[in-house]
Amino acid sequence: MVKNKIFIGVIGGGDCSDEVYKLAEQVGERIAKAGAVLVCGGLGGVMEAACKGAKKEDGTTIGILPGIDKSQANSYIDFPILTGLGEGRNLLVIRNSDVVIALPGEYGTLSEIGFCLKLGKPIIGLFTWDVSEAIIKAKNAEEAVKIALSKVNKDGG
């Protein structure tokens, strides 16, 4: 059952450098290989890259969109979820993730990190906002996904 799969959130900038794009793609690939579902905000940059990576490995991607128009979703989203909540959808991204991997991003990403820490969900940081010791730092995509999986299992996600 899909429902029993682990849902891993990937958060990060809607715009990003080529380097970060590549990193996000690797994160997506690893998530799909692990059989987990990728949850994100559905737009460009880190979100698009992660979904692209996941689809390479035949993974499943959910994009929780700010608006009410599916065409907002990046090309690698399987399930665009329309919210019409604007930035308020950031909280829904976190609520729908058993564990979160945070890449570099701007202030929207910061709000998501805030919510993630507030809700006490495990969060793995890949060169992202360094705002709390509760963010577990990883060195690369492989390690980030490995820690994410271990956290869900250990902490009961």
Q: Which tokens is 112 given?
A: 């998501």
Residue 3 half-sphere exposure, CB side, CA atoms within 13 Å? 1
Q: How far apart are CA 118 and CA 86, in angstroms?
A: 20
Work out how close the CB of 154 gets to a copy of itself at its nearest, in angstroms, rounded to a whole number. Answer: 18
Work out how close the CB of 27 gets to a copy of itself at its nearest, in angstroms, rounded to a whole number. Answer: 21
Work out how close the CB of 49 gets to a copy of itself at its nearest, in angstroms, rounded to a whole number. Answer: 17
The answer to whether 27 and 10 have CB atoms below 8 angstroms apart is yes
With CB under 8 A as the contact rule, the residue among 36, 50, 113, 144 that binds a copy of itself is: 113
Angle between helices 46-56 and 18-33 (to 10 degrees): 40
Examine residue 21 and tell whether it contacts a copy of itself (CB under 8 A): no
Examine residue 53 and tell whether it contacts a copy of itself (CB under 8 A): no
Work out how close the CB of 146 gets to a copy of itself at its nearest, in angstroms, rounded to a whole number. Answer: 23
Nearer to a copy of itself (CB atom), residue 87 or residue 155: 87
Q: How far apart are CA 3 and CA 19, in angstroms?
A: 33
CA-CA-CA-CA dihedral for 32, 127, 93, 55, to nearest 10: -20
What number of chain residues touch a copy of itself (CB under 8 A)? Answer: 41
Q: How large is the greatest C-alpha to C-alpha distance in the chain, in angstroms?
A: 38
Examine residue 82 and tell whether it contacts a copy of itself (CB under 8 A): yes
Q: Footprint of a copy of itself on this chain (CB under 8 A)? A: 1-3, 62, 64, 68, 70, 73, 77-88, 90-92, 95-96, 106-115, 117-119, 129, 131-132
